[in-house]
C-alpha cells in the first residue's frame, strides 16, 4: 500500500522562482499541479519555464499543469481546494495577505521572499505565523542561501573559537555582507524578462526588503546557529541608507522586453531615465554583535547577469571572507586570513578543522596563497542556486509529512529578519 501523494497548487505565479520549485522531480508529489492565475504574461512566462523542464533531454520532469484562469484566483482556490499546499512567489505588496488567507483556509504554504515589504504589514506576519501554529500547518519562507556551500563553510569556521577567537565587538562589524544582483540576467539559459511591477518599489519593495532578506537571515543563521533571535529584545537597528539605480530606456527594454515605459511607472520616469530605488544598507546589532548589510541592484552585475557577493566574518584571531567577483571568475570562493596569529599556526588549525568537516564536506581542501588561505571546494559540493529550490521544497515536504519538525527557533528568527528589513527601509526613508 502506497501513501497518498502530496498535492501542490500554484497561486498567481508572478516570479520565476515559482517555476524553479518544479525544476526537479519531487518524489511523492502528484505530477498534476493546479495553477490559479489571471491569463497574463506572467502566467505564460511560468508555463514556458515549466514546459522547458518537461522537455529537456537530461532528467526531464513530468508535470501536468491544470490551469484555472480568470479573476479572483485566491477566492476560486479557497472554494475548490484542489491541493493541500500552496506555492506563492511574486506580487510582493499583497503577499502576506495572500499567505494569511491561505493559512486561514487550511492550506500549507511555501512562499518565496519577501513576505512583507512595509513596516505597516509586520503585524500581519505575526498573525500568519500564529495561525499556522494554531492550525498545525507548515508555512515556510524560501531561504535558499542557507544551502550555498560557501555559506555553510563560513558558518562552520566562524563558530570555531580555535580559528576565529572571539568575534569582534568593537571597530569593524563582526559580519559584513554585500550582494549585487542584475536587473538584466539569464535564467535556465533563457533571457529573463522582468515584469513592470518589479520596477515599482511600492509593489516589489526596496532592495533591502526584497533580496536583502537573505543577507539578514544569513547573519542570524551564521552568527547564532540554531538559536532564536527576539526582535524585541535582541535586535537594535543603528542606521540605514538608500539610493537609486538609474536606467535608460534601452536598458529597461533589455530587462523587460517592452518598447516604452508604461504609465504605471510615470512617477519614477524623467525624460529617458527610470529611477529605481533598489539599493540599501543597514547597520544593526544582535546581542551586541555589529552587522552590516549592503544590497544592490545593478543593470548587469556580472557577465550574463551573474551576481556578485561578499561576506566577511571578523574574529580576533582571523577573518573569513567569501568572494564572488571578477577575481574569482564570479564563482563564490572562501578565504581565511590570520589577524593575530601566524600563517603556520592558522594553517595547522585549519587543517585540523577541515579534517573534522570531511564527513559533511567530502574532498574539501586547503590552498596557501601568500598571506591567506583559500578553501578548495570540489565541484560536487557546488549545487547551484537553482537547485536549492528543490532542496528547500524537499525540506518543506519533510515537515509536511511529519518526518522532521520545524525547529523552534525558526519562529523568532522569521519575525526578526523581517523586522530588520522593513524597519531598515523605514529608517532609510526617514519615515517617522
For residues 376 and 272, state if they share a domain. yes
Indicate the residue among 83, 112, 141 that finishes a domain: 141
For residues 174 and 110, state if they share a domain. no
Query: Rounded to whole angstroms, how far apart are CA atoms 106 and 177?
Result: 37
Query: Rounded to whole angstroms, how far apart are CA atoms 323 and 374?
Result: 10
Residue 163: count other Cβ atoms within 10 Å of its Cβ: 21
Segments in the chain below pLDDT 70: 1-2, 188, 432
Residue 172 belongs to a domain? yes
Residue 318 belongs to a domain? yes
For residues 289 and 154, state if they share a domain. yes
Give the residue carrying C-alpha cell 511607472.
Answer: 265
For residues 59 and 159, state if they share a domain. no
Residue 419 belongs to a domain? no
pLDDT at 189: 72
For residues 124 and 157, state if they share a domain. no
Residue 111 belongs to a domain? yes
Give the residue carrying C-alpha cell 580555535.
Answer: 162
If one counts the domains in the chain, the total is: 2
For residues 131 and 227, state if they share a domain. no
Which range marks the domain in which residue 28 is found? 8-141
CATH of the domain at 235: 3.30.360.10
pLDDT at 1: 36
pLDDT at 193: 86
Q: 317-321 long-range contacts, Cβ below 8 Å, gap at least 24? A: 317/163, 317/164, 317/165, 317/341, 317/346, 318/163, 318/164, 318/165, 318/346, 320/154, 320/157, 320/158, 320/164
Indicate the residue among 124, 141, 158 that finishes a domain: 141
Residue 186 belongs to a domain? yes
For residues 286 and 371, state if they share a domain. yes
Non-local CB neighbours of 422 within 8 Å, separated by 6+ positions? 116, 117, 118, 119, 121, 122, 209
For residues 290 and 204, state if they share a domain. yes
For the chain, the C-alpha Rg in angstroms (whole number) is 22
Query: Rounded to whole angstroms, how far apart are CA atoms 320 and 218?
Result: 15
Residue 394 belongs to a domain? no
pLDDT at 89: 96
Q: What is the DSSP letter of 227?
A: -
List, as one string, the DSSP characters of 103-118: HHTT-EEEEPSPS--S
For residues 131 and 171, state if they share a domain. no
For residues 97 and 220, state if they share a domain. no
For residues 131 and 206, state if they share a domain. no
For residues 162 and 113, state if they share a domain. no
**Report field, pTM of the whole predicted structure over 0.75:** yes
Indicate the residue among 384, 410, 427 that finishes a domain: 384
Q: State the cell numbers at 345.
A: 599556526
Residue 112 belongs to a domain? yes
Residue 369 belongs to a domain? yes
CATH of the domain at 133: 3.40.50.720
Query: Rounded to whole angstroms, how far apart are CA atoms 167 and 64?
Result: 51
Query: Rounded to whole angstroms, how far apart are CA atoms 235 and 216?
Result: 12
pLDDT at 142: 96
Q: State the cell numbers at 100.
A: 494569511
List, as one string, the DSSP characters of 268-327: GEETTEEEEEEEEEEEEEETTEEEEEEEEEES-SSGGG--EEEEEEEBSSEEEEEEESGG
Amino acid at each position: 500500500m502506497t501513501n497518498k501523494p502530496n498535492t501542490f497548487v500554484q497561486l498567481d505565479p508572478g516570479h520565476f522562482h515559482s517555476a524553479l520549485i518544479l525544476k526537479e522531480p519531487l518524489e511523492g508529489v502528484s505530477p498534476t499541479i493546479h495553477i490559479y492565475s489571471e491569463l497574463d504574461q506572467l502566467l505564460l512566462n511560468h508555463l514556458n519555464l515549466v514546459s522547458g523542464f518537461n522537455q529537456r533531454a537530461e532528467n526531464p520532469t513530468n508535470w501536468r499543469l491544470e490551469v484555472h484562469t480568470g479573476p479572483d484566483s485566491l477566492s476560486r482556490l479557497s472554494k475548490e481546494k484542489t491541493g493541500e499546499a500552496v506555492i506563492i512567489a511574486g506580487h510582493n505588496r499583497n503577499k502576506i495577505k495572500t499567505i494569511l488567507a491561505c493559512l486561514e483556509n487550511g492550506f500549507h504554504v511555501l512562499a518565496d521572499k519577501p513576505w512583507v515589504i512595509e513596516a505597516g504589514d509586520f503585524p500581519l506576519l505575526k498573525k500568519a505565523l500564529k495561525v499556522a501554529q494554531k492550525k498545525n500547518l507548515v508555512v515556510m519562507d524560501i531561504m535558499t542561501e542557507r544551502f550555498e556551500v560557501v555559506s555553510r563553510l563560513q558558518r562552520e569556521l566562524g563558530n570555531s573559537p580555535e580559528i576565529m577567537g572571539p568575534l569582534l565587538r568593537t571597530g569593524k562589524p563582526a559580519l559584513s555582507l554585500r550582494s549585487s544582483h542584475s536587473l538584466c540576467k539569464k535564467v535556465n539559459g533563457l533571457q529573463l524578462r522582468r515584469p513592470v511591477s518589479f520596477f515599482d518599489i511600492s509593489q516589489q519593495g526596496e532592495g533591502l526588503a526584497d533580496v536583502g532578506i537573505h543577507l539578514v537571515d544569513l547573519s542570524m543563521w551564521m552568527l547564532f546557529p540554531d538559536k532564536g533571535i527576539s526582535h524585541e529584545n535582541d535586535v537594535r537597528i543603528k542606521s540605514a541608507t538608500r539610493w537609486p539605480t538609474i536606467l535608460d530606456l534601452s536598458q529597461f527594454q533589455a530587462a523587460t522586453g517592452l518598447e516604452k515605459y508604461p504609465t504605471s511607472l510615470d512617477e519614477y520616469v524623467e525624460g529617458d531615465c527610470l529611477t529605481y530605488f533598489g539599493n540599501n544598507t543597514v547597520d544593526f546589532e544582535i546581542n551586541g554583535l555589529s552587522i552590516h548589510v549592503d544590497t544592490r541592484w545593478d543593470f548587469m552585475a556580472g557577465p550574463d547577469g551573474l551576481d556578485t557577493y561578499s561576506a566577511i566574518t571578523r574574529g580576533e584571531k582571523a577573518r573569513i571572507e567569501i568572494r564572488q567577483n571578477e577575481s574569482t571568475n564570479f564563482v563564490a570562493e572562501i578565504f581565511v586570513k590570520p589577524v593575530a596569529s601566524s600563517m603556520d599556526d592558522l594553517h595547522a588549525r585549519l587543517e585540523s578543522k577541515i579534517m573534522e568537516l570531511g564527513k559533511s564536506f567530502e574532498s574539501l581542501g586547503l590552498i596557501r596563497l601568500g598571506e591567506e588561505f583559500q578553501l578548495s571546494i570540489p565541484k560536487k559540493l557546488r549545487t547551484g542556486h537553482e537547485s536549492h529550490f528543490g532542496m528547500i521544497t524537499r525540506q518543506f515536504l519533510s515537515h509536511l509529512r511529519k518526518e522532521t519538525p520545524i525547529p523552534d527557533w525558526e519562529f523568532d528568527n522569521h519575525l526578526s529578519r523581517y523586522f530588520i528589513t522593513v524597519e531598515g527601509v523605514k529608517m532609510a526613508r526617514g519615515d517617522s
